[in-house]
Every structure is written in C-alpha cells, then in structure tokens.
Amino acid sequence: MTIPVLVVEDEPVLARRLQQQLATLWPGIDLLPVADNGAAAIALALEHLPRVIFLDIHMPAASGLDAAEAIVEDWPEGVPLPQLVFVTAYGQYAVQAFEHGAIDYLLKPVSTERLQRAVQRLQERLALLDGASGEALGGALQRVAQALQPAASAAPLSVINAAVGAVTHLIPIDDVLYFEVADKYLRVVTREREALIRMTLRELLQRLDAERFWQVHRSLVVQARCIAQVERSEDGRLWLGLRDHPTRLGVSRLFAHRFKAM
C-alpha cells in the first residue's frame, strides 16, 4: 500500500527538490501536489488524508504551525493522524524545538543524509503506530509552538482596554473568563460584559501567564481558575463549564491532552 505524503513549501525550487529527494529515498510513497501556503495545506491534507506531511514553518499569511493546528483540529475521527515533519531555515528554533520533543525537524537546505534519517524514523514509527494519538500530537505541536514563540518584549497584561460601542472599559486581567477570536478582533468575556480588542491571539498569548491562561482551542484561551468542570460528550469531545457563567467552551483535539486524566 502506498503512503500518501504532502509537502508544504512556498518556494517552488525547494519544494521540487524535497519531492525529488523523497521519491528517491522512499519509493513506496505517493507524493501529493505541493501546497504552497497554509490554506492550501489544510485543504489538500483534509482532502487526501496523507500519512506524512513535510511542513514549512515560515510562509506568508498562515504559518506552517497554524496550518498544522487547523489540520489536527479538523482531521476526521477514526483516521490516523498524519506524522508531521517541520522544515525551516531557522536553526536556533529547530534545535530548541527538537530538544522539546518535536516529531522531527529539518533545516533548509535539507541534506540527503539528514532526510534519509528522517525517512527511516518515519518508516519505523508508521510500522509501530497507526498514527500518533491526538493527545501526543497536540502536545508535540504545543512544544514546537512554545519553542518558536519569540521572547515577550512587552510587559504582561494587567488591564485590558476594551471597546464596547463608543465606550472603552478598563478590564482587570483577573476578571477575564476567556478570550475568543472574533474575525479581526478578540472578544474579551467577563461575568459582567463582553468587549472587543484589536489584537491577534498569538500576540495576546505572548502577554499572558501561560500557567493562568490555557489555550483550549485555536480560537479560545480560558483563565484556568475559572474552569469549574470538564465534561466528555458521547462523541468524545470535551466541554468546559465555567464558574458562575452559563457558557460551555469546546476543547479541540489539539489541546485535549491538558485534560487527559479524564
């Protein structure tokens, strides 16, 4: 049985070279069309369900990491998750991420020798496992995300300046129940009100205490002490109940490992 493999790379020359190397080193694979951006990677991955994805980290618009998160979240139940191999030109991040347990990590330009070792590792893993579990893959992705996160240059947030109509409210960070992506904004939800701030989730995460605020979905960050309960539905999904607030928040597969004791 052939193994479908997807290469995600926005530089055509590098994509072609990587595919040629893979075709030589791993004759049993079926190379899918190259995805040259994050959106194409998500679409091709969910259409063809590859067993392995070589994913460039730095691409225009959506990064490889963002694409990987979306792929894992939308991956169909019952189908083994793909093995992800990150590819980047930034060595300092690669070493750090690899030490933190990334599935594999290749530096550009990818040498044949190094790629051969990666292929061997993938072959062994595919032979032993029927795909990594969502929890294991989610944990690995988070470690890579943390390794790639630039050092915070701004002070941690203590107060949020948030707009509600024409009024700007000063919301203490202690009062926030959760943040949720809302188009180009972030919705800030407290027990008393909802408001909007113009900031990306990635920017926000750099200014939050990771021990206090947990990302539970690619569009949701919740204050941990505000979680009252975790419930598993019949279809296996996890839902969070909040203290003194009726909202239930869904936990994606990517972040379900936080609650693996359930």
CA distance 128 to 110: 26
Mean pLDDT score of the chain? 83
Cα(126)–Cα(173) distance, integer angstroms: 45
Give me the sign of the Cα torsion angle 36, 38, 42, 43. Answer: negative
The better pLDDT of the pair 14, 95 is held by 14
Percent of all residues in the chain with a pLDDT value above 90, rounded to a whole number: 41
Least confident of 10-19, 82-91, 125-134: 125-134
User: pLDDT by residue (tens digit) across 147-191?
Assistant: 555 555 566 888 998 877 778 889 999 999 999 999 888 999 999
Residue 107, both tokens: 């530096």
- The 8-class DSSP code of residue 35 comes to B
User: In angstroms, how far is the first alpha carbon of the chain from the final one?
Assistant: 36
How far is 146 from 136, CA to CA, in rounded Å? 15
Q: Would you place residue 146 in the very low, low, confident or very high pLDDT band (cuts 50, 70, 90)? A: low
pLDDT at residue 236, rounded to an integer: 80
| pLDDT over 80 at 96, yes or no | no
3-state secondary structure 178-219: EEEEECCEEEEECCCCEEEECCCHHHHHCCCCCCCEEEEECC
- The pTM of this model reads 0.63
HSE, CB side, 13 Å, CA atoms: give it for residue 29: 24
Does the pLDDT at position 253 exceed 70? yes
User: Confidence band (pLDDT; 50, 70, 90) for 134?
Assistant: low
Q: How confident is the model at residue 100 (pLDDT cuts 50, 70, 90)?
A: very low
pLDDT tens-digit map of 183-214: 888 999 999 989 889 888 888 988 899 889 99
pLDDT recorded at residue 86: 86
How many Å apart are CA 82 and CA 53, to the nearest integer?
7
Burial class from Cβ neighbours inside 10 Å (0-12, 13-18, 19+) for residue 103 reads: buried
DSSP character string of 39-104? HHHHHHHHHH--SEEEEES--SSS-HHHHHHHHHHHSPTTSPPPEEEEEES-HHHHHHHHHTT-S-
Look at residue 94 in the predicted model and tell me its pLDDT.
59
Q: What is the pLDDT of residue 99?
A: 41
Please tell me the least confidently modeled range out of 78-82, 89-93, 251-255: 89-93
Can you tell me the distance from the alpha carbon of 116 to that of 164, in angstroms, rounded to the nearest whole number? 56
